[in-house]
């Protein structure tokens, strides 16, 4: 009886994870670009990276880039921030 309880408790997180994966699989909006379907998060990640790359010359020309901190941390975080902002602006379902 103890073995059965241990197996049941061990399989519960796996079953919950599988059920959550199946339930959340349909929540991602899909964008149709030239006949190919792309997930919205992929489009937002690309746009965020492009916008972060576009901000770099602005920061360098204004002279604030040396004061930003570690650039290997700042620009990826800026890309994530901009990608999330694009997702909230264009794919918000609330």
The pTM (predicted TM-score) of the whole model is 0.63
With beta carbons less than 8 A apart as the criterion, state whether 42 and 49 touch: no
Task: Look at residues 78, 81, 79, 80 and name the one whose alpha carbon lies nearest to residue 69.
Answer: 78
pLDDT band per the 50, 70, 90 thresholds, residue 52: very high
Report pLDDT digits (tens) over 1-39: 555 555 566 666 777 776 666 655 555 677 666 667 777
CA dihedral sign of residues 57, 61, 66, 68: negative
Percentage of residues in the chain having pLDDT higher than 70: 62
């Amino acid at each position: 009886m103890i073995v059965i309880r241990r197996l049941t408790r061990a399989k519960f997180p796996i079953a919950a994870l599988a059920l959550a994966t199946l339930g959340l699989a349909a929540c991602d909006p899909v964008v149709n670009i030239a006949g190919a379907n792309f997930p919205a998060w992929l489009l937002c990640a690309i746009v965020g990276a492009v916008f972060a790359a576009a901000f770099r010359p602005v920061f360098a020309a204004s002279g604030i880039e040396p004061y930003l901190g570690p650039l290997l941390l700042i620009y990826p975080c800026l890309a994530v921030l901009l990608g999330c902002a694009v997702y909230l602006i264009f794919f918000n379902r609330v």
